[in-house]
A and B are shown apart, each in its own frame.
Chain A
Amino acid sequence: MIALAQVAPLTAPPIDYAAIAPLLVVLGGACVSVLFEAFLPRHQRWPAQVALSVLVVAVAGIALGVYAGTAPAAGIVTLATALSVDGPTLFLWGTLLVLGFGSLLLIADRSVEPGGAFLASAVERASVAAAPGTTSGPTGVDPEHVDRSYGAPGEAPTMQTEVFPFVLFALGGMMAFVAANDLLTMFVALEVLSLPLYLVCGLARRRRLLSQEAAVKYFLLGAFASAFFLYGLALLYGYAGSVKLVAIATAAVGTPKSDALLFGGLALLVVGLLFKGSVGPFHTWTPDVYQGAPTPITAFMAACTKVAAFGALLRVLHVAFGSTHWEWRGVMWVVAIASMAIGAVLGLTQTDLKRMIAYSSVAHAGFLLLGVMAITPEGVSSTLFYLLAYGFTTLAVFGVISLVRNADGEATHLSQWAGLAKRSPILAGVMTFLLLGLAGIPLTSGFTAKFAVFSAALGDGMAPLVVIALVFSAVAAFFYLRVIVLMYFSETPEDGPTVTVPGAFTTVAVTLGVVVTLLLGVVPTLVLGWAGAGGLTG
């Protein structure tokens, strides 16, 4: 044991608990949520899980607010430099928490779909699926084959409350992802955020096969992308001898090793991240998964996964590869153009609203890349602002989509939205406003965000790309407008869908999205200030 004694005593790394409190609260809350699932009787789970989730997000938010008040402007690196808590991290955490809160409200809602949108495995549903022609709603079920999860006949069916711990874990993973200061932490966080998402995608109460197919596709392609990420990580470790972002940046300026490792590694790493951010041509999962997943989960993925992926991309490109941006920027130009083109053009041909918004998300990912590629403080702050603005708008859009239903569940085919304004002028008005926000009309957050991102890109010498982006945002505006025209100026179909009166949860979530979309368009100053406070710390 002499040899051991000679080794310096292993000291635990200092941890700044105040700084990482929001993350700890969310992950801890997720663990408690699992315990709830294990020990509470079925009928108590829903209220308990909802209360816990809201509490967790609220406490995390408070912890974040308290810490942000006293945080050093330059940011800190803690947990043995695994996490970097700086200005952008705090902003992204705040964004994730508020968007997560909105998503949790949509998930918790049981008024729109009786019993909530989530249901157990297909095995339990076999009896219903086997009877052709029956709808999966509670009305068409043969009493002989009532499946357990609907509870006793006449009672509202209960929902699969495991979705709450899953979402909390995913949220925690996302928060770690955007703060990760080395690639290994980032990879672990990537898996923590991805695995629960694969599962919850398959939990849709309606159109189960669609939902499960989406989940499997997402999982397979996600695993594929993770492998790219991991291989890139390995190459970069070979190059820099470290997985720390700063070490890669240092190595890039002064090492005799072949740059093939550096750029090969960067390429593979970025592919993994672009996949999560649904940037074309790595977007292929997006339409299927957005369409198949339960709508509240789609909202969660569209808003929060986007934030997490671009937050991490921002950190990787700015901290580790900021000095070599002349080499990689040209390639990213092509990716950004491809993403904008795919999103804007294919969005035009879609006939399903959720798929259309999915392609819109691909186009937005292209616009976001413009901000990410600008290696300037404006590039960082405009991307952060864009993420917040886009997240709220898209969250509310999916909230609204979940309200338009017929006997088969959500009516997402475009033809079913024809003449909706006649039945529900308020819903049509809200949707119109949100779509104008996505199109980037002034006085909505979409315009401010695009303005900020484009001017950041212009300021960093990407004028031709901005021209292209403007052209594609002009094209993309067309399919948003098409929905508006459809809602206001088409005749209502005979067997058109009905507009469900939303319960408190969905109402709050949609209202939140609309108000933020408006406020960030009309008075964006305050939030722009926050987004611009402090740079990335490695």
Chain B
Amino acid sequence: MTAPPEVLPATGAASVAWLLFAIPAVSALVLFLAGKRANAWGHVLGVGSVLASFLLGVVIFVQALGVAPDQRTTELSLYSWISSGTLNVDFGLRIDPLSLTFVLLITGVGSLIHIYSVGYMAPHASGHGADADAHAEPSSDSSRRRFFAQLNLFVAAMLVLVLGNNFVLLYLGWEGVGLASYLLIGFYQDRPSAATAAKKAFLMNRVGDVGLALAIFLIWLNLGTLQYTEVFARIGELSGGTILAITLLLLLGACGKSGQFPLQSWLPDAMEGPTPVSALIHAATMVTAGVYLIARTNPIYDLTPTGRVVVALIGVVTLLIGAIIGCAYDDIKKVLAYSTVSQIGYMILAVGLGPAGYALGIFHLLTHGFFKAGLFLGAGSVMHAMNDDVNMRNFGGLGRKMPITFVTFGLGYLALIGFPFLSGYFSKDAIIEAAFGQEGWQGWVYGITATLAAGLTAFYMTRLMIMTFFGEERWRNLKAPDGEDYHPHESSPVMTGPMIVLAIGSVFAGFVLSAVGLNQWLAPSLGELQESPDGALPHALVPWLVLACSALGVLVAYLVVGRRPTPVQRPEPVSFPVQAARRDLYANAFNETVIERPGIWLTRALVFLDNRGVDGLVNGLAAGLGGGSARLRRLQTGFVRSYALSMLGGSVFVVAALLAVRFA
């Protein structure tokens, strides 16, 4: 292990690094508070603030490039948050290669998606042809302003998450992005499914958050500090068991935020949000926070091989689950969502490999940020053209109608399946190579599963391409869900522009990033990337194997989907594996049985015990509907005698228990 680089105070442009998140935060506040007055210029401010952050990020990045690698890790102390006796927490920012990489990704991709949203969220009048009125998505000036306010809030919170130099700021950002994500998933308030999805995302994220909070408390209890530098310097003092507990709890946090097994099922539901949100939050940035967390705390993970094995296994399980389920869906956004789950699985696998994989995980995170954001924007463009329909069985032959979307989406597709010399080829192959490089059973399990999933990825993405852009124009004979005819058309330049930029990124990002030496750039934060030895399979063989597997996936997809007409109705019944995949491999059924039911029982039991909650609820509803004071009075139907009984019960318990404890 190399010694961690010296931490220097931030200078120059980096000394105002707090502006990175302050600008979007202020913009969000202005948009929230200004109300209707900001409707006319709200989106301009929203886009401008993220662009400004991006430019500042570029300046700081260039400045960091200008100094020697061992001087790139800097901290900017903002102020002393708590300093009282044993509690000491300083607020400060850590500006180092890792956080700068994330800043550029968040603000760069964020800017593009903000620009795209100007068109996507535009009020009806802006003219998308004859069917503009047919849009199911309610969009108006005020909802667009609200949208930009929340998007800015998200960007600010995400920047806090990656820039903080301690676990408290990390937690602040973590909660902030969760809140913004919750709001944005539920953005279409008139859809009950959106509200349900938002709740589900929130609850599953809270499970992860509890893990993160516990990890933070555990670190605090054992080390008495939460600054990264101090924690990482002293983490070796702790016992192996404690370190393992901390890493597993951090992993739980990562699983919640990044949609990893067993908390993966919120992410596909989160697609209820507007498509730009899916692209920015639920593909490119927020869901990668778990990867960031593990990469950032790499000094802790370095000390616990067991912890890393668990991380890698979670990654492997998730990447396989995501790929399998992705094959079964007909909803274009859900396929992409499960693809995201699967790809983040690759990243988690990579960071689970330890020093041989941290940088590879970040590498894949960056290339994925480009092509997955591009794919989602493409999907949004398709939906825009198709009256917000997401069912691919109603698409077909769209390539001719929307050439720009087709080409940009196609490039993203090729990048994702790892077509040679496109982005995914560089980043994903590197992970699979490193996976095969592990010793013993690990190399075989990780490597083979990752290769298999690459083949599945090729299958489901090819299926998606064929069903959407090729073949018969099935929509000609169908009515859209809103009763109108379909009139597919290319989207406006404000939407296709960002798609083109992201497509260029999907093509070249992998090559450029590996050519300029991303791994060396990240070394001050993540340690030198260790070349993994030839393990189970020689490195020279792996790319060919992966390529063959992917080609097979494409071929099978062509044979199964491409050569036959696609039925408009979903075939039923189907074989058990397909059925299982359609049911998300029963993840929801599992959650319902294990978490939801007991939760409902607990609530019912408590309500019953509280012996007025039921009345309160029912009468409360009645009173809310009627509003009369006479009905309101009935709110209080609880009898004093039952209250007193409950108190007496509690008292008897306390007395009996105390005496029992004493005399037992």
Contacts and interface: CB of A to CB of B under 8 A. Distances in A.
Interface stretch (B6-14, B570-578, B603-611): B603-611
A225 B33 CA distance: 47
Interface string A510-530: 000000000000111100110
Contact of B183 (A266, A352, A489): A489
B651 A228 contact: yes
A528 B80 CA distance: 13
Nearest to A341: B606
B217 A442 contact: no
A101 interface: no
A429 B213 contact: no
B650 A351 contact: no
Contact of A284 (B207, B616, B643, B658): B643
Contacts of A488: 146, 183
B213 A470 contact: yes
Contacts, number: 220
Interface string A378-394: 10010000000000000
A260 B658 CA distance: 9
A348 B602 CA distance: 12
Contacts of A413: 620, 623-624
B249 to A, nearest CB: 10
B67 interface: no
Given A266-B658, A281-B647, A470 B214 contact: yes
B562 interface: no
Interface of A: 132, 135-136, 206-207, 209-210, 213-214, 216-217, 220-221, 224-225, 228, 259-260, 263-264, 266-268, 270-271, 275, 281-282, 284-285, 287-288, 291-292, 327-328, 330-331, 334-335, 338, 341-342, 345-346, 348-352, 355, 378, 381, 408, 413-416, 422, 425-426, 429, 441-443, 448, 452, 454-455, 458-459, 463, 466-467, 470-471, 474-475, 477-478, 481, 485, 488-491, 495, 522-525, 528-529, 532
Contacts of B651: 228, 267-268, 271, 282
Given A225-B647, A489-B189, A267 B658 contact: yes
B646 interface: yes
10 contacts: A207-B633, A216-B640, A221-B640, A263-B661, A271-B650, A282-B647, A282-B650, A327-B662, A341-B606, A529-B85
B126 interface: no
B481 to A, nearest CB: 22
A220 B643 CA distance: 10
| Interface range on chain B (Cβ under 8 Å from partner) | 35 or more
A189 to B, nearest CB: 21
B643 A426 contact: no
Contacts of B80: 525
Interface string B441-465: 0000000000000000000000000
A207 B629 contact: yes
Contact of B182 (A378, A422, A481, A495): A481
A271 B606 contact: no
Contacts of A459: 221
B178 to A, nearest CB: 10
Task: With a 10 A CB-CB cut-off, give which of A214, A270, A281 has the most chain B CB atoms.
Answer: A281
A167 B286 CA distance: 50
B616 A355 contact: yes
B168 interface: yes
A64 to B, nearest CB: 21
A458 B221 contact: yes
A488 to B, nearest CB: 8
A352 B635 contact: yes
Given A349-B603, A429-B33, A442-B172, A291 B658 contact: no
A210 B632 contact: yes
A345 B84 CA distance: 34
A270 B79 CA distance: 42
Contacts of A491: 189
Contact of B632 (A132, A207, A259, A271): A207
B86 interface: yes
Contacts of A351: 616-617, 620-621, 624
B202 interface: yes
B658 A331 contact: yes
Contact of A220 (B620, B644, B653, B658): B644
A240 to B, nearest CB: 16
Given A268-B655, A459-B221, A478 B202 contact: yes
A455 B220 contact: yes
B610 A342 contact: yes
